[in-house]
Amino acid sequence: MPRTSVLRSARLAWALVVLVVLLAVAVLTLAVPYVRGARVDLRAYRASIILPPGIDTSVASPARRFAISPDGTRLAFVARGADGRTLLWVRPLDGLTAQPLAGTEGAMNPFWSPDGRFLGFNADARLKKINVSGGPPLTLVDADAAFATWNRNDVIVFSRGPESLQRVSAAGGTPSRVTTLDPTRGEAGHIAPFFLPDGRHFLYLGLGGSGTTTTTVRDTVIYVGSLDPAEKPRVLLSGGANAQYAQGHLLFLRDTTLMAQPFDASRLELTGEAVPLAEQVEIGGPTGVAGAFSVAESGTLAYQIAAGEALSRLTWVDRHGKTLGLLGDPGTYGEFELSPDGKRAAISVLDAAKRASGVWLFDVVRGVRTRFTLDVEHTSPVWSPDGTWVVFNSRRKGPLDLYRKAASGAGDEDVLLADRSNKVPRSWAPDGRFITYDTGGGGTTRTDLWVLPLVGDQKPFALVQTPFVEGDGRFSPDGRWIAYTSDESGRREVYVSAFPGTASGRSRPAAA
């Protein structure tokens, strides 16, 4: 659960009320640097938050996990209950228990209405709202909103995948674009909007050309945007994470340190030096840019401290889910794939010190691993059908490009496909002639399923290219079909398409 803090401004004096799961009540006074000649006092009050048995808050990424109410009295968060359902929960900060909101199954990204009566959220690839006092949720727009913000004029601005920001009425309707990607900066997307007090201007984060999945803070820009299309966005900071505002201060992350910097919300200008508020704030993934904090108009600040990288175990299970054994030691594992003969596994492993992942090869029989790639970010390994090659992606040149290397580890990797888009390899055809991969479509499409031929002119082509999110394409054993996922129906489902097929996306859903 997040830690919550209270911010008071009297020539920049800060008092923090920290709520930590299963910690005893304590009162702390800490000294922090001087700002503009005034001493900053930090007082932390620690109390316990007792969650119902079986509650798991790790089901949502950190920045999409919780939101503090505008008056700073309630915390909304996403959690999976003992029954396996993921719901929105609301906990009064002066209360003892949290209550789930019925009808919010699959919810992510909670955000409050300015009056605190409603919670907005994303579920089933739709932007929805629900009255906190009770009642069914209402769908506002068919859009998979990653982040959103709500002003007093009932305008909601939200981010939708690797695209520009969009706006929609809090009563629902057709969304319209409110920002435009800047090609001179090589922007890949805009995320994390946050309305300023005037309700016309908002903060947001511009992502650099290396993409939205593993963008680092060096690729980002914090902007002030406007609902007025004639007003150009202003650059506030280069390099940072999602930003929010309260009590005359801009709050943002510098690496994993939460900073506060004086900000004139009427002139839209930074006016002083930034000071740290909290260190080791959790961010959205190993190299993500969305930090786990939420601030209210009252100055109440909720943030979550990273507990270190989550370790996982590689586990053998049978078709009934029974554990048969373990492979290797605990680690920070990502994507993996067994070799065709089942004797090796190619696995993406996070290097916590470098904040980047590399590909390792496991000897399944001996249970030992050896490094396969070096230096920069390498992920998503896929084996060739004869087991002699591994294809993976790397951001050596900026975007995630496709590379191939001999499975023996000998020699350097070859570039298979390099362009301005991010590419994630998924499957190698049984005859060795094609590789499927996902890529951001841009324009009117989002994530699409593409195929790279390894023979002939080797010109990639779109297999499924629609306004929806599709990917994870896997060849059938005979190479005649490709199974993939799509949210065309409003939720993620598995579809099957004949290969080579067409790019119309009119594939039939796989039988349940």
Q: Are residues 199 and 229 in the same domain?
A: yes
Residues 148 and 235 in one domain: yes
The amino acid present at 32, given as its one-letter code, is V
Confirm whether 119 is domain-assigned.
yes
CATH number, residue 60: 2.120.10.30
- Domain identity same for 297 and 362: no
Instruction: Select from 114, 119, 116 the least CA-distant residue to 152.
Output: 114
Residue 293 shares a structural domain with residue 191: yes
Decide which of 214 and 333 is more confident.
Answer: 333
| Predicted local confidence at residue 512, as pLDDT | 37
Residues 249 and 327 in one domain: no
| Per-residue confidence band for 407, with pLDDT thresholds at 50, 70 and 90 | very high
Per-residue pLDDT of 32-62, as tens digits, reads: 333 334 444 434 444 445 555 666 666 677 7
- Of 273, 303, 333, the domain-final residue: 303
- CA 339, distance to chain mean position in Å, is 30
Domain boundary among 272, 303, 334: 303
Q: Which residues pair with 409 in a beta bridge?
A: none
78 located within any domain: yes
Domain extent, residue 293, equals 52-303
Give the least confident one: 327-331, 448-452, 507-511.
507-511
**Amino acid at site 75:** L
Residues 326 and 403 in one domain: yes
Residues 279 and 374 placed together within one structural domain of the fold? no
3-class DSSP state of 185: helix
Q: What is the pLDDT of residues 300-312, one digit of tens each?
A: 888 877 665 556 7
The answer to whether residue 21 sits within a structural domain is no
Confidence bin at 218 (pLDDT 50/70/90): very low
Q: 247 with 342, same domain?
A: no
Give the SS3 label for residue 435.
strand
CA 237, distance to chain mean position in Å, is: 21
Per the domain annotation, does 282 fall within a domain? yes
Whether 407 and 495 share a structural domain:
yes
On whether residue 23 sits in a domain, the answer given is no
pLDDT at 352: 56
How far apart are the C-alpha atoms of 213 and 224, rounded to whole Å? Answer: 23
- Which among 51, 118, 56 is positioned nearest to 87, based on CA atoms? 56
Query: How many domains, the chain?
Result: 2
Same domain, 262 and 382: no
382 and 500 housed in the same domain:
yes
**CA-CA distance, 250 to 272, in Å (whole number)?**
10
In a domain, residue 471? The reply is: yes
62 three-state secondary structure: helix
The set of residues, in sequence order, having a beta carbon less than 8 Å from that of 141 and lying 6+ positions away, is 126, 127, 168, 172, 173, 174, 175
| Predicted structure pTM score | 0.62
Cβ atoms within 10 A of the Cβ of 187, count? 20
Backbone Cα Rg of the chain: 24
Q: Where are the beta strands (DSSP E) in 332-398?
A: 333-338, 344-351, 356-363, 368-371, 378-383, 389-394
Q: Is residue 104 part of a domain?
A: yes
Determine how β-strand 108-112 pairs with β-strand 74-80: unpaired
State both tokens at 324: 């048969």
Task: Evaluate whether 86 touches 107 at the Cβ level (below 8 Å).
Answer: yes
To the nearest whole number, what is the mean pLDDT of the chain?
A: 79
Assigned domain for 5 exists = no
Pick the last residue of a domain from 274, 303, 332.
Answer: 303
Residues 251 and 319 in one domain: no
